[in-house]
Amino acid sequence: DECERFLGPRGFGGIQISPPNENVVLWT
């Protein structure tokens, strides 16, 4: 999914569980 593809290469494996919106807020 988008979350996994965006964060996977960056090493954020555990955060993939969270919704894309939360990932953007937490990691952008």
Give the model's pLDDT for residue 4.
Answer: 52
CA dihedral 11, 15, 16, 18 (to 10 degrees): -160
Give the model's pLDDT for residue 26.
Answer: 54
Distance from CA of residue 16 to its chain's centroid? 5
Q: What is the pLDDT of residues 1-28, one digit of tens each?
A: 455 555 555 555 555 555 666 655 555 4
Give the model's pLDDT for residue 8.
Answer: 53
Give the model's pLDDT for residue 13.
Answer: 54
Give the model's pLDDT for residue 14.
Answer: 53
Which residues, at least 6 apart from 6, have a Cβ–Cβ distance to it below 8 Å? 20, 23
